[in-house]
């Protein structure tokens, strides 16, 4: 199937998938926390646009609610909270040197290839567009994990965590035109509670180890000291 033969909606979804994937890579290589949060908000915005687009083209009004939820939670609330935390801890000036950036980026690229490999069996039952969309979602999930592994700041971990959720939402919208409403509301509620809990945690970690560097959280392990 040629890409010019598909309808406008499908083409738009494909470009959105590409952009969402790109933001994940941008986050992966980002050492400055404020910029990381900005790119994360951008990814949320792309997700909102995709949802609204799906709602419009598929004439499915409940997706508008989902788009609004994404906008409020992922584009406004979470980035605002994280930004406030970074400014409060005076971390916005530190550039965090990422150890072996090249390896991490190469790892990210191979994760993307891996996602395509994993999801390839479903291509027989569906269109290649769907394969692209699902594979990008899965790679956003995996890249979110890689982000958490490669960055040492608690704030970056939260960004990775929330970016994983973004990938999942993208899959839900593109592949299945949104989950049933009750599930979507439940998931949004969980994300909201998780965001609030992260805020509480920052406070606790700050008061107990006076830093948000997770490398300092190393007391509990099975290694004899």
Partner 1 sequence: MIAAYLVLLIPFIGIVFFAIAGHKTDMGKFNIWLNAVCLLATVWLAVNVLNIGTILSPNKAFLIDPFNVYLIVLTAFVGFTTSIFSSPYMAHEKELGKLTDNRLKLYYSMYQGFMLAMYLVLTTNNMGIMWVAMEGATLATVLLVSLYRTPESIEAAWKYFILCGVGIAQALFGTILLYYAAVQIGDGENALLWSVLYENAAHLNPEILQIAFVFLLIGYGTKIGLVPLHNWLPDAHSEGPTPMSAVLSGLLLNDALYAVVRNKMLVDGASHNNMAGYLMMGFGLLSFLVGALFLHRQKDIKRLFSYSSIEHMGMMTFAFGIGGPMATFAALLHMTVHSLTKSAIFVTVGHASQVAGSQSMGKIRGLIKTQPKVGWGLLIGTIAIAGFPPFGVFTSEFLVLLATMHGYPWLAPLLLLGIGIAFAGLFRHIQPMVYGDKPEGQLPVKANLWPVIIHLGLVLWLGLAIPSFLAHWFSQATLLISGSTPL
Contacting residues toward partner 1, per CB under 8 A: 118-119, 121-122, 124-125, 134, 137-138, 141, 144-145, 148, 154, 157, 161, 164-165, 167-168, 171-172, 175-177, 179-183, 186-187, 189-190, 193-194, 197, 200-201, 204-205, 208-209, 214, 217-220, 222
Nearer to partner 1, 34 or 179 (CB): 179
Q: Residue 85 in contact with residue 158, Cβ under 8 Å?
A: no
What Cα–Cα distance (Å) separates residue 76 from each residue in 63, 130, 218?
A: 19, 29, 32
CB of 4 to partner 1, least distance (A): 26
CB of 193 to partner 1, least distance (A): 5
Polymer length of the chain:
225
Write out the two tokens for 153.
């700041």
CB of 186 to partner 1, least distance (A): 3
Nearer to partner 1, 105 or 175 (CB): 175
Cα–Cα distance for residue pair 37/82, rounded to 1 Å: 7
CB of 167 to partner 1, least distance (A): 8
Nearer to partner 1, 42 or 188 (CB): 188
Nearer to partner 1, 69 or 95 (CB): 69
Cα–Cα distance for residue pair 5/12, rounded to 1 Å: 13
Cα–Cα distance for residue pair 20/15, rounded to 1 Å: 9
Write out the two tokens for 165.
């959720």
CB of 55 to partner 1, least distance (A): 14
Q: Is 59 left (phi over 0), alpha (psi -120 to 50) or beta?
A: left
Instruction: Give the N- to C-terminal CA distance of the chain in Å, as an integer.
Output: 61
Nearer to partner 1, 89 or 102 (CB): 89
């Amino acid at each position: 199937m040629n890409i010019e033969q598909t309808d406008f909606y499908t083409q738009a979804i494909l470009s959105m998938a590409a952009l969402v994937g790109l933001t994940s890579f941008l986050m992966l290589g980002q050492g400055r926390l404020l910029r990381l949060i900005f790119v994360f908000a951008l990814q949320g915005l792309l997700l909102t646009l995709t949802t609204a687009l799906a709602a419009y083209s598929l004439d499915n009004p409940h997706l508008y609610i989902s788009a609004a939820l994404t906008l409020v939670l992922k584009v406004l609330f979470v980035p605002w909270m994280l930004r406030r935390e970074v400014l409060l801890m005076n971390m916005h000036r530190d550039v965090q040197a990422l150890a072996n950036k090249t390896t991490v980026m190469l790892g990210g690229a191979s994760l993307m290839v891996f996602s395509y490999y994993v999801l390839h069996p479903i291509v027989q039952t569906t269109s290649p567009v769907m394969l692209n969309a699902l594979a990008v979602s899965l790679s956003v999930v995996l890249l979110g994990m890689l982000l958490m592994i490669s960055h040492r700041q608690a704030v970056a971990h939260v960004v990775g965590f929330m970016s994983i959720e973004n990938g999942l939402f993208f899959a839900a919208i593109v592949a299945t035109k949104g989950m049933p409403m009750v599930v979507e509301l439940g998931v949004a509620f969980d994300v909201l509670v998780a965001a609030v809990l992260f805020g509480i945690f920052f406070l606790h970690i700050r008061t107990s180890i006076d830093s948000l560097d997770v490398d300092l959280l190393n007391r509990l392990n099975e290694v004899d000291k």
